[in-house]
């Protein structure tokens, strides 16, 4: 647009923003702003636009005038801009060009206060068990179920899930070993099929021993 007068540039800008969102009021907004600018003000404004690389538009919510992807692509082609480009993918040893074109645009990115990698709890293995409770410990420990959660599951009529979480995965070594063997052999686990392999939850056994050693009769 070199050689154009300020008025011609202003007219181009107002027509451009109107083409992106017809009837959205941005043309009238820019016209009113430019009318209050001197030549020096407009020159400083254009330097800021060049530095940022874009023009601002306002897109109100819940109105009839909406942005259109198809319309934006047509406008981009009119000005010789291509949104879709092949991407150079870099590997550790070599780089290669993608066969498929991808959309390349600038998008605002907000850093999340907590990333999923920190919130996800996964175990390294299932080999380390606490001797007193029979429950996973150290790198084998991933999550736990609380008493309120157990009450909610009971209220939701999920007895099999409770048996799995509080018995099979909660310290019954016999059922736990049977579940691993069944998963390795068939790729699935049936709680009914391994019920007869139950040996009791280790934490309950430990509690019974502690109470008995304290000369307290118990039913644990």
Residue 67, SS3 per DSSP:
coil
> What is the model's pTM?
0.45
Question: CB-side exposure of 133: number of CA atoms within 13 Å?
Answer: 11
Q: What is the Cα–Cα distance from 7 to 143, expressed in whole angstroms?
A: 66
Count Cβ atoms within 10 A of the Cβ of residue 48 and give its class: 0-12 exposed, 13-18 middle, 19 or more buried: exposed
CA 97 to chain centre: 28
Predicted confidence (pLDDT) per residue in 78-101, tens digit: 888 888 999 988 877 788 888 899
Can you spell out the DSSP letters for 93-152? S-EEEEEEEEE---------SS-HHHH----S-S--B-TTT--B-GGG------HHHHHH
Predicted confidence (pLDDT) per residue in 29-42, tens digit: 999 999 999 989 99
Q: What is the Cα–Cα distance from 211 to 145, expressed in whole angstroms?
A: 25
Q: 86 has which bridge partners?
A: 101
49 in Cβ contact with 55 (< 8 Å): yes
Predicted confidence (pLDDT) per residue in 117-155, tens digit: 666 667 777 778 888 888 878 877 777 888 899 899 889
Q: What is the Cα–Cα distance from 47 to 11, expressed in whole angstroms?
A: 17
Residue % of the chain over a pLDDT of 70: 94
Q: What is the Cα–Cα distance from 172 to 42, expressed in whole angstroms?
A: 77
Residue % of the chain over a pLDDT of 90: 24
Buried b (16+ CB within 10 A) or exposed e, 130-149: beebbbbeeeebeeeeeeee
Q: What is the domain partition of the chain in residue ranges?
A: 6-67, 143-220
């Amino acid at each position: 647009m070199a050689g154009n007068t300020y008025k011609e540039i202003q007219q181009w800008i107002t027509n451009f923003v109107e083409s992106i969102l017809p009837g959205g009021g941005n043309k009238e907004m820019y016209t009113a702003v430019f009318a209050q600018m001197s030549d020096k003000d407009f020159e400083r404004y254009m330097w800021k636009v060049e530095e940022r690389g874009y023009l601002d538009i306002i897109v109100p919510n819940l109105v009839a005038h909406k942005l259109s992807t198809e319309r934006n692509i047509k406008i981009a082609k009119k000005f010789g801009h291509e949104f879709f480009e092949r991407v150079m993918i870099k590997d550790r040893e070599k780089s290669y060009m993608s066969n498929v074109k991808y959309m390349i645009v600038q998008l605002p990115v907000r850093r999340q206060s907590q990333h999923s990698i920190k919130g996800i709890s996964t175990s390294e293995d299932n080999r380390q068990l606490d001797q007193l409770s029979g429950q996973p410990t150290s790198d084998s420990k991933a999550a736990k179920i609380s008493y309120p959660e157990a009450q909610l599951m009971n209220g939701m009529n999920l007895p099999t899930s409770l048996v799995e979480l509080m018995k099979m995965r909660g310290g019954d070594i016999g059922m736990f070993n049977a579940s691993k063997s069944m998963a390795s052999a068939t790729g699935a686990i049936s709680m009914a099929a391994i019920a007869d392999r139950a040996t009791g939850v280790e934490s309950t056994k430990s509690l019974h021993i502690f109470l008995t050693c304290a000369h307290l009769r118990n039913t644990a």
